[in-house]
């Protein structure tokens, strides 16, 4: 089985390594970070992980290399990997496949845009592959990404949209959940009860849609009895500018992703 090596042992790398370890505790992993204490934390947390003290050592010992450093520091790492012929998976926001291909001409490049629910194995990620990545290499990458959640293949040109939708999405969803909690409190519920009811409602709705493969309109219809409470609420929500606000939110995040990626 291919060894997966992390360059940059921060929050996202920890979440991904944790997901791999929980699903397959024998899967060989490696980690390097400029801060040795971070690597220590990884080797203490995952018994299948080997600590490395340089990018070079990690590159030599890994078949799949995950670049999990901040976009601002990625150039330094890319220059150390310029002759690598390995599978290199970048999770750095805004760094395009084309940019990576130019910096790593010999490597097989994969770009992933994960999101924070990967911390609990519920990631929603976009993934794009360089043209020369083989089907077997794709499978190897998709197999370990599946431990963290779902990863859907998109053309690299859509990665800013993925960033605006699912990358930044957890913050938008948390903000909307907060509005529901406040609305529950306004109706007299205590904060804790309102929060728990709201979060479970979001979770339950999402699970229902996923597990029953239910159409959104079908679910809306299912809850809306004629003359009932849901119809009363929907008439307010659906006559508001909610849809436009969400559109503008995701658009702003997508535009910002494009700006940040321009290099
Ligand atoms: N967090 C998210 O929700 C999220 C979502 C999607 C994508 N991402 C992407 O994931 C990547 C990692 O994010 P993160 O939140 O995990 O960041 P992070 O916690 O700051 O982790 C990055 C780690 O890399 C280390 N590092 C910096 N320069 C290095 C170098 N030259 N060689 C080796 N290690 C180096 C950092 O050390 P120092 O702290 O000492 O600099 C830090 O420990 C980013 O590119 C980000 O765009 C994050």
Distance CA(70)–CA(72), nearest Å, equals: 5
What residue ranges line ligand 1, CB within 6 angstroms? 7-13, 32-35, 38, 68-71, 73, 76-77, 91-93, 113-116, 167
Cα 77 to averaged position of ligand 1 atoms, centre (Å): 12
> What local confidence, expressed as pLDDT, does residue 162 receive?
97
Distance CA 95, CA 160 (A): 10
CA dist 159 and 161 (Å) reads: 5
Burial tier of 111 (Cβ tally within 10 Å: 0-12, 13-18, 19+):
buried
pLDDT for position 260: 82
Q: Give pLDDT, residue 1.
A: 54
Q: Whose CA is nearest to atom 30 of ligand 1?
A: 34
The neighbour count for residue 219, using CB atoms within 10 Å, is 14
- For residue 167, report the distance from its CA to the centre of ligand 1, in Å: 15
Cβ pair 61, 82 in contact under 8 A: no
Q: Apex CA 220: angle with CA 183 and CA 214, to 5°? A: 125
β-strands 49-51, 29-32 pairing: parallel
As a dihedral over the C-alpha atoms of residue 227, residue 233, residue 238, residue 243, rounded to 10 degrees, the angle is -150
The whole-number pLDDT of residue 239 equals 97
123-129 and 108-113 strand pairing: antiparallel
pLDDT given at position 54: 96
pLDDT for 261 equals 77
Q: Which residues of the chain have pLDDT under 50?
A: none
Cβ–Cβ < 8 Å for 88, 140: no
């Amino acid at each position: 089985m291919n060894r997966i090596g992390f360059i940059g042992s921060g929050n996202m790398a920890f979440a991904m390594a944790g997901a791999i370890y929980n699903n397959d505790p024998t899967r060989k992993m490696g980690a390097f970070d400029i801060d040795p204490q971070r690597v220590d934390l990884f080797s203490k947390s995952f018994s299948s992980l080997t600590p490395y003290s340089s990018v070079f050592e990690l590159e030599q010992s890994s078949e799949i290399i995950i670049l999990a450093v901040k976009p601002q520091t990625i150039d330094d790492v890319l220059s150390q990997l310029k002759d690598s012929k390995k599978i290199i998976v970048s999770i750095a926001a805004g760094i395009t496949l084309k940019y990576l291909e130019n910096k790593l001409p010999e490597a097989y490049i994969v770009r992933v845009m994960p999101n924070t629910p990967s911390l609990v194995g519920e990631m929603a990620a976009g993934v794009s592959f360089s043209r020369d990545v083989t089907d077997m290499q794709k499978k190897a990458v998709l197999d370990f990404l599946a431990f963290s959640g779902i990863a859907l293949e998109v053309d690299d040109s859509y990665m800013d949209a993925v960033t605006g939708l699912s990358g930044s999405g957890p913050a938008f969803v948390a903000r909307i959940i907060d509005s529901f909690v406040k609305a529950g409190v306004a109706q007299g519920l205590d904060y804790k009860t309102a929060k728990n009811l709201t979060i479970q409602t979001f979770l339950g709705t999402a699970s229902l849609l996923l597990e029953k493969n239910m159409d959104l309109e079908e679910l809306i219809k299912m809850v809306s009895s004629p003359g009932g409470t849901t119809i009363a609420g929907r008439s307010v929500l659906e006559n508001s500018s909610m849809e436009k606000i969400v559109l503008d939110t995701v658009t702003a995040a997508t535009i910002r992703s494009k700006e940040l990626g321009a290099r």
